[in-house]
Structure 1
Amino acid sequence: MMDKPSRDLEWEKDMLGLFVHDHRFPKVESEYYHSYGFDEEFFNRYLSIFDKMAVIGREYNFKISSGDKAEKVQPDIEFLTILDLKQLKNKDIRDMINQKIKNSDYLVIRVPSILGLYAVRMAQQYKKPYLIEVVGCPWDAIANKGLTKIIPAAAITHLTKKAIRTSKYTVYVTEEFLERRYPTNGKYIACSNVTLNSVDDNFLSKRLEQIDKLEPNKIILGTCATVDVIYKGQQDVIAAIAKLKDEGYYIEYQLVGGGDTSYLKSIAQKYGVAEQVEFVGSLKHEDVFKWLEQIDIYVHPSKQEGLSRAIIEAMSKGCPIFGADAGGIHELIDDDYIFDKGNIQQIYDIFKSFNQKTMKEQAEENQKNSKKYLKSVLYKRRNGFFKEFIGENNI
């Protein structure tokens, strides 16, 4: 585990920053573990700003299997987590959350998030300074779960728009998409919450050699996303693979991500491609990069996104990439490689458009563009904005 980072922002008193989001943190007894996007780098991002950090979120019981390399969250991070959002109906739970908000100096509230919307209301009531991070679209996230979710999607979208509109400080992870859909009257910046420590230029030559050696009808596709939520869209790729199988292609589809695999396994069996779909499971962050080096093409079929961490990381490894028309994906890859959400025919068509020439062009372009997300670039921008936020609200 890395040492606690030195603080970039210096003030006279110790500062407690409170992060609020609906994320489900893995928990074993009283200890919390890192998860994808919420790893050591995530926590250190805020510890470079605040002296101490506390978290309000959700939890789930994490089972550590033999040989699992899951890492614990550093012990000086305070957690208050609930199992289910329905627990917000419990006055005792709300009182504990309210106390955490009262005891904090500054709040970082990530939305979409039910806990986040509650924290905005209480921060306003207690006159606590808060900053909102907008990482996704609640309408896309909820409405894509089915017709029965349209009304709650509309209600939560309305509340989220109101919270962001009245926020004095807002960080968007996209350059345009979320800003247009959820505008604010306050100060804001565009700054991805996905950062890369480095981009290895030497690997690009290996990627180009790998493309040269490809058998045109034998490809490894990969997706990195939770496997037990329908809106991640892996089922659409499986259906397209079946169409391609009928034309003599053998595509191995590797799925990285945790969750119940039973639904996607049933889809693969239904389409007769079960032997072509491999469930890799959850990987440590550094192992995701190693996995990306092994696949031939990355596909991101999700029906809702903010700015995709998985795509940016695939870009850094020079992967040819195609993905669904969701969130900020247009800001990452060329429109020629974007398909309508859930459109199996377009997935099929874009896959067939790949050849060694287009794959090499994409590999070079994607790796070059990934450098926009280097940690050194984004931390300077984000910390400057936090310095302004804290300076205006110096307690």
Structure 2
Amino acid sequence: MNNKLHGPLFLAILSTLMAFASLSTDIYLPAMPMMATELKGDVELTVTGFLIGFALAQLVWGPVSDALGRRIPLFIGMAMFIVGSAGCALSADIQQMVFWRVFQAFGACTGPMLARAMIRDSFTRIRSAQMLSTLLFIMAIAPIAGPLVGGQIIKVSSWHTVFWLLVVIGLFMFLSLFTLPETLPQEERVKASLPGAFRNYLALLRNRLFMRYTLCLTFFYVAAYAFMTGSPFVYIDFFGVAPQYYGWLFALNIVGVMGVSLINRRLVLHFPLEKLLKFAVIISALATLTLACCVKLQLGGIIAVVITVFLFFSMNGVIAANSTTAALDAVPSLAGSASALIGSLQYGSGIISTLLLAFFYDGTPWTMSWIMLLFTIASVVTLLLPMSASTSAPEISVATGRSKHSWYNSRQ
């Protein structure tokens, strides 16, 4: 195996790529109330637009990366991200902002999608879970630093400066891609036409084991995005937290993710991924149930919200790594397309959150709370539903005709 795959530079670049979704949104969360006033529109739609672009584009980039390798799509995607970020900075109204956010997302989505695929290209099942936990730990710097940096920027400048900063970050990442090795050899690339490769999505959707873990993660992220999109208004508008301090409250949750990610690295060596995943989703559901009860009964104020959200969010350190690893392990011969579908549903799930918040937000934490509760329960139900024994049968790639077990055994 290429020594570069074990180097700190490789991990640092993949971690930053994994963070592009949260970085692109979290950094301007403190500025959302200001943007809503200046752009005269529903600023939540800028998150919705980004997630729509992020979800749809991955379905294109997945088959492309299975056919062309991982590096070429990354270069194209990063260039699109830079242009889209500049367009956001220059936007004068909400319509322009939403358009450029969609464009920005078409490039940003290549980061986390192909980082996951490169890990699955390179490592075995347990090692992949460990590597993803490591990446989650490192990438957590972005959602911690993002709101903090964004809050300080709008204290001394405008929200436009936030997006110019993203342009600079995009340029830096474009240059760093030259150091990445290609992890998908020519002989393992999909030889079918792209339309044929797109048919692989039908096979993935019919694979019940793959969809079980993918939907578990998807529903969890609907709840997570409900908090990420709703928390600026809950903390800043409802509880009166100053924008420059909002980032500290948001960062607290990411510290929990980092801690649990480190613990998960060790736990996967001693417990089955599935058992750890079930434990994590049940804990997250209990946390959101407590949150909803406290908000509805007006108990505990902001302290209750902070504590219960911290417990919920920390479980992402187990759920994201283990569900992704288990899902990709179900269809290893289609790592690019499978990673694309996972990412499309995972980040596209935020569209549900933002739309529900836009339509039902009542100026209190209640809307955010019941959305989080509803979808964490859905995550638990999805994971605990019984499955037939036939689900574990080998899957065949539509485009390549390869058995999953022959590919997997070659990686052991």
For normalisation by structure 2, the TM-score amounts to: 0.29
Q: Which has the higher strand share?
A: 1
Instruction: Between the two structures, name the one with larger relative contact order (CA 8 Å, sep ≥ 6).
Output: 2
Q: Which has the higher helix share?
A: 2
Name the larger-Rg structure.
1
